[in-house]
Amino acid sequence: MFEIFGFYKFKKLNTLKKNKILLQDFLVKKNIRGTVIIASEGINATISGKPLDLKAAIAKIRKILDFKKFDSENSSKSKFQPFHKVKVKIKKEVVPMGLTLSSKNKKDNHIDPKKWNKLIADEKTLVLDSRKPFEYEVGTFKKSVNPDVVNFREFPKYLNKLDKKKSIAMFCTGGIRCEKASVFLEKKGFKNVFQLKGGILNYLKNVKQKESLWRGECFVFDNRISVKHGLITGTYSICSGCRKPVSPKDKKSNKYEEGVSCTNCHDNLTEVQKGRFRMRQKQITLAKKSGSKHIFQKEFK
């Protein structure tokens, strides 16, 4: 059994190159996989490993970057290792939005998952899904709206059009995208901006399905692809042609071909591309039959 730990912390960080090397070396040593992003404004990561190794890695991250608590954290379990390798990246921002955050300019506007339902049930509240369109299509909260923005850097253009008099309830996967967006809105003069504490993952972990206002599954950026209530691995897979999530219903379409295409990309792929993907899938299938893992194989399921 593997444990998955997602977290972020807004804190001024220095010596990023040195910290990257220290983190990378230790995580590799402990056989921890996942993605870690560090910037001058803080850290954002999702990592996975065996429980004791992961515990040691979390303690080491706190020590290297010199802080005690994360701004937000969530944990779950998986029967398989959901990441291929570990990557520590240095970026200008932990979430690209053209806005640098510090712990000093953050207002506490987090709403606990068990109080979230009451907030979003109010007809006067704008329920804003701040994720990308394809994530929104996999699952979202009842009556939520999505800005239909592919690049998060374009999100401020959408936010500028919102009514300052409205109460806005924002949410995203783990909370960090909302963290930045809410500060942006507050700087623009919005008074009633709230965000789901710990994001969707925290909600699905702590709110029972029969009491939930969530519809569908939640897309995650690892080889689980999606999760359901209780953070159980979901039913989606990834299309090899366009790297978008594919549901069991999508697979029934004649445009779906394993390892090649789905309803989203079938009509946009050339025959040359499809031929190349079919060859790759053939190699993956042969590797599976022989009990080995092929270089092109993307999932550990």
- pLDDT (tens digit, 9 = 90+) per residue, 156-212? 889 989 999 899 999 999 999 999 888 888 888 898 999 999 999 999 999 999 999
Residues tagged active-site: 172
- pLDDT (tens digit, 9 = 90+) per residue, 98-140? 777 665 556 678 999 999 999 999 999 999 999 999 999 999 9
Q: C-alpha angle 30/90/199, rounded to 5°?
A: 75
Q: Where are the beta strands (DSSP E) in the chain?
A: 2-10, 33-39, 42-49, 72-78, 86-90, 110-111, 125-129, 139-141, 167-171, 193-196, 214-216, 218-219, 226-227, 237-238, 245-246
> If you ran DSSP here, which 8-state letter would residue 95 be given?
S
pLDDT at 104: 52
* pLDDT > 80? residue 298: no
Per-chain mean pLDDT for the chain: 91
For residue 161, count CB atoms less than 10 angstroms from its CB and return exposed for 0-12, middle for 13-18, buried for 19 or more: exposed
pLDDT at 296: 39
Q: What pTM did the predictor assign?
A: 0.89
Q: Which of 208-212, 261-265, 280-284, 287-291 has the lowest mean pLDDT?
A: 287-291
Q: What percent of the chain has pLDDT over 90?
A: 78
CATH code, 103-218 = 3.40.250.10
* Cα 264 from chain centre: 21
pLDDT at 152: 82
What confidence category does residue 12 fall into, taking pLDDT thresholds of 50, 70 and 90?
very high
* pLDDT > 60? residue 219: yes
CATH code, 2-90 = 3.30.70.100
pLDDT at 300: 38
**Cβ proximity of 54 and 29 under 8 Å:** no
**Cβ proximity of 161 and 174 under 8 Å:** no
Closest-CA residue to 134 (of 243, 222, 289): 243
How many whole angstroms separate alpha carbon 32 and alpha carbon 51?
10
The CA-atom distances, in angstroms, between 214 and each of 7, 111, 127, 143 are 22, 16, 12, 10
pLDDT at 26: 97
Domain boundaries, the chain: 2-90, 103-218, 237-289
pLDDT at 299: 41
* pLDDT > 80? residue 33: yes
Q: What percent of the chain has pLDDT over 70?
A: 94
What confidence category does residue 154 fall into, taking pLDDT thresholds of 50, 70 and 90?
confident
pLDDT at 180: 87
pLDDT at 297: 42
What confidence category does residue 50 fall into, taking pLDDT thresholds of 50, 70 and 90?
very high
